[in-house]
Amino acid sequence: MNLAQIFTDLVFFSFAAILVGSALMTIISRNPVRSALFLVLAFFAATGLWILLEVEFLGLILILVYVGAVMTLFLFVVMTLNIDVEEQRSSFVRYLPFAIVIVAMLVILMVYVISPGHLNPSELTTTGGQPVNYSNTTELGMVLYTDYAYPFELAGILLLVAIIAAISLTFHGKGNNKTQNPDQQILIRREDRIRMVKMQGDKK
Amino acid sequence: MLFETILTYPATPEIFLLGMTCIVLLADLFIKQQEKKITYWLSQFALVGTAVLVLLLYNVPSTLLFNGSFIWDKTAALMQFAIVAINFFILIYAREYIRERKIPQGEYYLLSLFSVLGMLVLVSAYSLLTLYLGLELLSLPLYAMVALQRDSTECAEAAMKYFVTGALASGMLLYGLSMFYGATQSLNITEIAQVTSNLSSGQELMLIFGLVFIIAGVVFKLGAAPFHMWVPDVYQGAPTSVTLFVGTAPKIAALAMVVRLLIEGTPALVHQWQEVLILIAVLSIALGNVVAIVQSNLKRMLSYSAIAHVGYMSLGLLAATPDGYASALFYMLAYALMSLGAFGMLVLLSKSGAEVDKIGDLRGLNTRNPWLAFMLLLVMFSMAGIPPMVGFFAKLGVLEALIGAHMVWLATFALVFAIIGAYYYLNVVKVMYFEEPEIQYPIVNRPIINVAISVNCLMVLWLGMFPSGLIDLCRAAFAM
C-alpha cells in the first residue's frame, strides 16, 4: 500500500465519520436550528466524498444548491416557526427502544451484505484514474441532454407540479389579500378621514 | 407522412397530455370563466384525446425508446387506456362535488391531469430512474389534492399523514433501487434482467437486500398490509372526490410498478419475492376483510375492502405464471372499475352540503332513488364476488392461477375470507333496501351524471357476463 492510497483512505474515513456523525446529530439534536446546521455539515462531508470520487460538478452543485439555497431557506423557516421541542421529546423517548432495535437489525444486515466476504470488490468498477484534461461537467452535459433527455424533462415537469401544488395550497384568492390600493390612497381627502369636534374643556 | 409518424410514435399520448395540461394551466389562469367551464371541458378533451391516441397505438409492436428508459408494449397500452378512461369518469363525478364545497376547481383538474401523466409515465417506465420520477409525478399532486379543501382540518390531517408516510415509502424504494444499481451497475430494466440471470452469491445477497426495500415501497403504494396504515385515514379524511381519485387509477399504476420491477426486472429472484408476496397477500386478505366488518363509516369500510382486494390481486402475481399475471391485471382493472362505481356513487349522493359517508346514510336509498340503489347493488355484489358480476370472474381467475401453481391451501384461505367479506357488502345492500329512510326527499342528479354512473355500473355487469374480451387482452399483455 503506497502513501497515496493511505492518504485517500484517511480522507475518505474522516469525511465518512463526519457525515455519519452529523447526520445522527441532525436527528437527535434538541434544537431545530442546530439540527439544520448539522445537516449543512453533513452536506459538506458528502461533498468531500464526491470530490474524492472525482465528481467535482455534483459536489459543487451540492454546496451551491443545497447549502447555499435550500438550507438557508430552511433555516429561515425553522427560525420563524416556534416549535415546541419538549412536547415532541416525550413520543421520541417512548418509541426509542423500537427504533434502536430496528436500526440495529438494519445495520447488522447491511454490514453482513456488503462485507468483503460476500461482496467481491473486484466485481465493482471504480471511478477515478481519468486523464488530466477530463471534465466532469462536459461529460454530464453530454449525457444529460441526449441519453437522459426524457428523465430530465420529467424532472422539469415535477418541479412545475411542485410550484402549482404549493401555490394552490397557500394562495387564498385575490379577494382575501390584504394589499394596499395606491390609487385610493392618493385620492383620499382630509374631510373623509378627520372630523373636527368641538368639546368643552373641563372647568375646575 | 409526418402525421403518420406521430400516430405510430409510442410516446405521443404522454406528449399530447403534457401539452394539453399546459394549455389547461394557461387557460385556467388567463381566461375569465364562469364555474371553470372551459378548464373542465379542456381537461376532458385532454383525457379523451390521450385515450384515442393510446387506442390508435395499440397495434404498434413493442418498442424501447429514449435509450431504453421507455417501453411501449401491450401491458402499457392496456393500463394506460384504463387509467385515462377511469379519470374521464372521475372528473364527471367530481365536478359538482368540488363546486359545492368550494374546493379550488382549476387546481383540482390540473393536479389530476398531472397525476395521470405521472401514471402514464410510470406504466411505460423501463429504467429505475424514469420509474421513480413517474412515481413521484403521480404522488406529488395527490398529496396536494388531499389537502385542497383548506377549511377542513380533517383533510389537512389526512394530507399530512399521506405525505409523511409516502415520503418514507419513497425513501425506502429509493434505497432499494440504489442497492439494485450497486449490484447490477445499471438503471435499465433490460440490463438488470440480464445481469440477475447469472449472478455471483455476493451480488445476489445484495439484490435480495435491495428487493426487500423495493417490495416495501411498492406495497405501500399499493396499500396492502403490513404497510396499509395510511389507507383508512387518507380515504376517510380526504374529500370524497379525492378519495375517488386516490382509490382507483393509482392502484393500476402501482401494479405496473410491480410488473416492471419484479416480473420483468428480477425474474431470477422469483422465489424470494414470491415468499414475501405470500405473506403480504395473507395479511391483507385477513386484515382487510375482518376489520371492514366493524366499520360504520362507509369510506373507511371501502378502504379496508381495498386492502383486501389488493391482497387478492397479489395472489395472481405470486402464482408466478403468465396466466397468474394476466389474472392479477384483470383483477386490478375490475377492482378499479368497481371502486370507481362505489366512490363515484358516494360523491353523487353527497348533495347540497350533506356528506354521505356513513353506512346509515344509505338507509332506504331504494325508496329515494331506485335506479341509483340498483346500481350500487351491482357494485356491492361485484365486490363481494357474486356471479354474474365482474368481481366474480376476477376472483375466479386468481384462484384458478393459484391452483395451477399448486398452492391450493392459499386458494382455500382466500375463498374462506371472501365468504367472510361478503357480509359487509351485503350489509350495505340490506341497509339500502330493507330499512326506512331518515330523509324522504328524492335524489335528483343531472342527466349526464346519471348516464355516466349507469354506464360505469352496467360495465361491472356486462364485463361479468362477457369477460372473455378483457381476459384475452390481459393474456395478450403477458404473452411470452
One-character DSSP codes across chain A: --HHHHHHHHHHHHHHHHHHHHHHHHHH-SSHHHHHHHHHHHHHHHHHHHHHTT-HHHHHHIIIIIIIIIHHHHHHHHHHS---HHHHHHHHHHHHHHHHHHHHHHHHHHHHHTSTTTS-GGGS-------TT--HHHHHHHHHTTTTHHHHHHHHHHHHHHHHHHHHHH---GGG-----HHHHHT--HHHH------PPP--
Chain A (26-85) residues lying within 8 Å, Cβ to Cβ, of chain B: none
Q: Lowest mean pLDDT: which of A82-91, B20-29, B220-229?
A: A82-91
Task: Name the residue among B298, B260, B300, B262 with its Cα closest to residue B280.
Answer: B262
Whether A91 has its CB under 8 Å from any CB of chain B: the answer is no
Q: Lowest mean pLDDT: which of A29-43, A122-136, B207-221?
A: A122-136
Partners of B147 on chain A (C-beta within 8 Å) are: 169
Q: How far apart are CA B91 and CA B112, in angstroms?
A: 9
Q: CB neighbours (10 Å) of residue B331?
A: 28
Tally of structural domains, chain A = 1
pLDDT at A1 over 70: no
Query: Residue A172's closest chain B neighbor by CA?
Result: B150
Q: Lowest mean pLDDT: which of A2-16, A116-130, B452-466?
A: A116-130
Domain extent for B154: 2-477
Partners of B65 on chain A (C-beta within 8 Å) are: 150
Q: How far apart are CA B38 and CA B45, in angstroms?
A: 10
| CA–CA min distance A154, chain B (Å) | 7
Task: Name the residue among B250, B310, B223, B266 with its Cα closest to residue B122.
Answer: B250
Domain extent for A148: 135-172
Whether A161 has its CB under 8 Å from any CB of chain B: the answer is yes
Query: Strand, coil or helix: what is B134?
Result: helix
Q: Which of B181, B206, B211, B213 to mutate to test the interface with A (most CBs of A within 10 A)?
A: B206
Q: How far apart are CA A140 and CA B166, in angstroms?
A: 31
pLDDT at A203 over 70: no
For the segment B310-323, the average pLDDT, to the nearest whole number, is 91
A165/B141 CB distance under 8 A: yes
Residue corresponding to grid cell 417501453: B71
Q: Please, what's the b/e burial string for B443-474 (b: 16 or more CB within 10 A of its CB; e: otherwise)?
A: eebeeebbebbbebbebbbebbeebeebbebb
Q: Which helix (H) or strand (E) holds B65?
A: strand B63-65
Q: What is the pLDDT of residue A176?
A: 61
Better-scored residue on pLDDT, B350 or B163: B163
Decide: B103 and A168 in contact? Cβ < 8 Å.
no
pLDDT at A118 over 70: no
Model ipTM value: 0.90
B137/A120 CB distance under 8 A: no
Average pLDDT, chain A: 83
Partners of A162 on chain B (C-beta within 8 Å) are: 140
Partners of B110 on chain A (C-beta within 8 Å) are: 164
Tally of structural domains, chain B = 1
Tell me which long-range contacts A142-147 makes (C-beta under 8 A, separation of at least 24).
A146/B67, A147/B67
**pLDDT (tens digit per residue) in B78-112:** 999 999 999 999 999 998 888 888 888 888 999 99
Decide: B307 and B225 in contact? Cβ < 8 Å.
yes
Query: Residue A113's closest chain B neighbor by CA?
Result: B206
Decide: B470 and B85 in contact? Cβ < 8 Å.
no
Across the interface, which of A113, A146, A155 has its CB nearest the CB of B206?
Answer: A113
**pLDDT (tens digit per residue) in A49-102:** 998 888 888 899 999 999 888 888 888 888 887 766 655 666 777 888 888 898
Q: What is the pLDDT of residue B62?
A: 86
Bridge partners, residue B358, by sequence:
B297
Partners of B107 on chain A (C-beta within 8 Å) are: 164, 168
Whether B104 has its CB under 8 Å from any CB of chain A: the answer is yes
Residue A43 lies in a domain: no
Q: CB neighbours (10 Å) of residue B166?
A: 21
Q: How confident is the model at residue A134 (pLDDT cuts 50, 70, 90)?
A: confident
**pLDDT (tens digit per residue) in B139-166:** 999 999 999 888 888 888 999 999 999 9
Q: What is the pLDDT of residue A89?
A: 64
Partners of B67 on chain A (C-beta within 8 Å) are: 146-148, 150
Q: What is the pLDDT of residue A129?
A: 65
Better-scored residue on pLDDT, B8 or B170: B170
For the segment B181-200, the average pLDDT, to the nearest whole number, is 84
Burial (CB count within 10 angstroms: exposed 0-12, middle 13-18, buried 19+), residue B475: middle
Q: What is the pLDDT of residue A127?
A: 56
Q: How far apart are CA B125 and CA B107, in angstroms?
A: 26
Q: What is the pLDDT of residue A14?
A: 94
Query: Residue A173's closest chain B neighbor by CA?
Result: B104
pLDDT at B133 over 90: yes
Whether A143 has its CB under 8 Å from any CB of chain B: the answer is no
What stretches of B270-390 adopt beta strand conformation (E)?
A: none
| CA–CA min distance B75, chain A (Å) | 21
pLDDT at B415 over 70: yes
Q: What is the pLDDT of residue A19?
A: 95
A151/B69 CB distance under 8 A: yes
Q: What is the pLDDT of residue B78?
A: 93
The upper half-sphere exposure of residue B77, i.e. CA atoms within 13 Å in the direction of its Cβ, equals 23
Which residues, including other chains, have CB under 8 Å from residue B4's CB and lie 6 or more apart? Answer: none
For the segment B435-441, the average pLDDT, to the nearest whole number, is 78
Better-scored residue on pLDDT, B101 or B16: B16
Across the interface, which of A123, A151, A172 has its CB nearest the CB of B130?
Answer: A151
Q: Which helix (H) or strand (E) holds B63?
A: strand B63-65
Q: What is the pLDDT of residue A77?
A: 85
Question: In the 8-state DSSP scheme, what is residue B127?
Answer: B
